[in-house]
Amino acid sequence: MLHGKVAIVTGASRGIGRAIAVAMAREGASVVINFTANESAAHETLVAVEAASGQGVVVRADVADASDCEKLVRTALDIFGKIDILVNNAGITRDNIVARMKLEEWQSVIDTNLSGAFNCAKAVMRPLLKQKSGGRIINLSSVIGQAGGAGQANYAAAKAGLIGLTKSLAKELASRQITVNAVAPGYIETEMTSVLLEDIKSDILKQIPLGRFGLPEDVAEAVVFLASERAAYITGQVIAIDGGLVMQ
Ligand code: NDP
């Protein structure tokens, strides 16, 4: 589905980002595997990408830093000569109730989860427009951005902001056949959710109509589809991948 395409996946050193990188490689894409802290994990993703018969390269960049994002895009262009797909997946949590939330906890989540996507989208825009061959931007939002979450005001605000960014970018870029969509995963089994207490997990599980937590691969399948030519007439949408948790 992605033969000959070049994709940048931010935060691809583990979890959902790794699953997306591998799924894209399996579909024929060359993948730029971004990370910021865990280089050895990013190299494990590269091994998995190569095992899926794909080509990949590991590039360190902090998405919260606009100049890092420009360097990330420049490296992708130097190595693969073009960019077709950007997946804004990098994300962090710094949970706390608002009454106790420090400004740093608020700001770091906004900087990484929301400004990070803005920085990367801005950096890919010029090459995408210059190439005149369309393109795909896919943003990782969350059910928490749609429904809110106690103790997660920073994360919810960033993920809700990503939906507004997605729709605005979709309108700005549609005339150039660049589609921009978001996915809103529910509870997916990764390091990010491994910190949840068992009783909270079992409460959440009871609310999921499909009766299980999601896997990174469940998200990757939808992202690959949105990145493909098969999704050419879909833009500005938020696709829930949550086992039916939030039905709108
Ligand atoms: P993980 O915590 O497992 O992985 C996060 C990834 O983001 C890592 O590869 C990490 O790289 C990278 N990262 C963090 N900060 C930065 C940064 N500043 N610059 C570049 N990369 C960075 O998260 P998940 O796989 O669970 O989540 C992936 C995305 O999906 C996130 O945006 C998350 O909010 C979203 N999501 C997750 C859900 C879930 O249930 N897991 C539900 C809904 C949405 P490194 O290790 O090198 O720092």
Q: Whose CA is nearest to atom 41 of ligand 1?
A: 188
Q: How far is the CA of 88 from the centre of ligand 1 (A)?
A: 10
In this prediction, residue 248 carries a pLDDT of 84
Confirm or reject: Cβ of 15 under 6 Å from ligand 1.
Answer: yes
Could you identify the atom of ligand 1 that is nearest to the CA of residue 188? Answer: 40
In this prediction, residue 4 carries a pLDDT of 97
d(CA 9, CA 33): 6
Q: Tens-digit pLDDT profile for the chain (248 aa)?
A: 999 999 999 999 999 999 999 999 999 999 999 999 999 999 999 999 999 999 999 999 999 999 999 999 999 999 999 999 999 999 999 999 999 999 999 999 999 999 999 999 999 999 999 999 999 999 999 999 999 999 999 999 999 999 999 999 999 999 999 999 999 999 999 999 999 899 999 999 999 999 999 999 999 999 999 999 999 999 999 999 999 999 98
Residues β-bridged to residue 244: none
Residue 152: which of 138, 162, 142 has the closest Cα?
A: 142
In this prediction, residue 229 carries a pLDDT of 98
Contact (CB, 8 A) for 144 and 133: no
**What tokens appear for 92 in the block?**
């962090």
The interaxial angle of helices 15-26 and 39-51, nearest 10 deg, is 30
d(CA 122, CA 113): 15
Neighbour count for residue 209 (Cβ, 10 Å): 9
Q: Whose CA is nearest to atom 12 of ligand 1?
A: 11
Confirm or reject: Cβ of 192 under 6 Å from ligand 1.
Answer: yes
> What does the H/E/C string look like for 143-199?
HHHHHCCCCEHHHHHHHHHHHHHHHHHHHHHHHHCEEEEEEEECCECCHHHHCCCHH
Best of 8, 33, 35 for a ligand 1 pocket test (most atoms within 8 Å of beta carbon): 35
Could you identify the atom of ligand 1 that is nearest to the CA of residue 112? Answer: 18
Number of Cα atoms under 13 Å in the Cβ half of residue 246: 19
Could you identify the atom of ligand 1 that is nearest to the CA of residue 113? Answer: 32
Best of 18, 36, 70 for a ligand 1 pocket test (most atoms within 8 Å of beta carbon): 36
Contact (CB, 8 A) for 116 and 133: no
Instruction: Estimate to the nearest angstrom the gap between the alpha carbon of 106 and the chain centroid.
Output: 20
Q: Whose CA is nearest to atom 18 of ligand 1?
A: 62
Catalytic residue status for 155: yes
